[in-house]
């Protein structure tokens, strides 16, 4: 999949968390794809270790379960993207490009499930309800009418949601924006994305 993208290069792979850290140090990829379920050191600790040494690193979480508590912890540890393995063919390339551009990306269809797992800075039950309706495409007026509240109250909930999640828009409330973007590696072409992944046939094929 990735080898067909003219602006992407898969520079390394790793079979466990320790190898992933070593490979990151060696290749310094622009985006690292990290499986949460790895032997030796799991994805959360791997992401934390990478970001401790390279604070500008961009890591994308790969996991099997939507709304997985472990994935939520990985996002809090600093991961900039979240993908279900079943979504790789549909979402992987766009997610890599989004994260490389300096933003974070979590597909809208799993954003609400992740919201229910947040602990610190947790969304209230009403905020989760508002977010779910926004995800369905409801306008502020529609949300207000359904919940029997004012539009100003809906706007207040949205401001709170965006603030708690540091989100950049309504429909992708978990698509977090970062302020800085790493410059391309001098070995790469100007618009290339250098990638590192845990060994996976779906990523290296």
Evaluate if residue 77 carries a pLDDT over 90. no
Give Dmax over CA atoms of the chain in angstroms.
57
Give the global pTM: 0.59
Q: How far is the C-alpha of 78 from the C-alpha of 32, rounded, in Å?
A: 12
Domains and CATH numbers, the chain: 2-106+178-204 (3.40.50.2300), 114-165 (1.10.10.10)
pLDDT digits (tens, 9 = 90+) for 110-143: 666 666 665 445 678 888 888 888 878 889 999 9
Question: Which residues, in sequence order, are bridge partners of residue 193?
Answer: 8
């Amino acid at each position: 999949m990735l080898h067909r993208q003219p602006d992407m290069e898969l520079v390394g792979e790793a079979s466990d968390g320790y190898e992933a850290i070593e490979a990151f140090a060696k290749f310094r990829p622009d985006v690292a794809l990290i499986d949460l379920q790895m032997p030796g050191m799991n994805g959360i600790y791997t992401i934390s270790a990478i970001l401790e040494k390279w604070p500008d690193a961009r890591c994308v979480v790969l996991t099997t379960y939507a709304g997985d508590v472990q994935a939520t912890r990985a996002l809090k540890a600093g991961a900039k993207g979240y993908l279900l393995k079943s979504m790789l063919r549909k979402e992987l390339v766009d997610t890599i490009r989004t994260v490389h551009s300096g933003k974070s990306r979590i597909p809208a269809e799993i954003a609400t499930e992740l919201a229910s797992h947040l602990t610190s800075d947790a969304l209230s039950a009403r905020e989760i309800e508002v977010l779910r309706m926004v995800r369905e495409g409801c306008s502020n007026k529609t949300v207000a009418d359904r919940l029997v509240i004012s539009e100003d109250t809906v706007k207040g909930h949205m401001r709170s949601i965006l603030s708690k999640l540091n989100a950049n828009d309504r429909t992708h409330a978990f698509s977090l924006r970062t302020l800085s973007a790493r410059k391309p590696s001098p070995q790469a072409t100007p618009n290339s994305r250098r990638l590192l992944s845990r060994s996976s046939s779906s990523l290296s094929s």
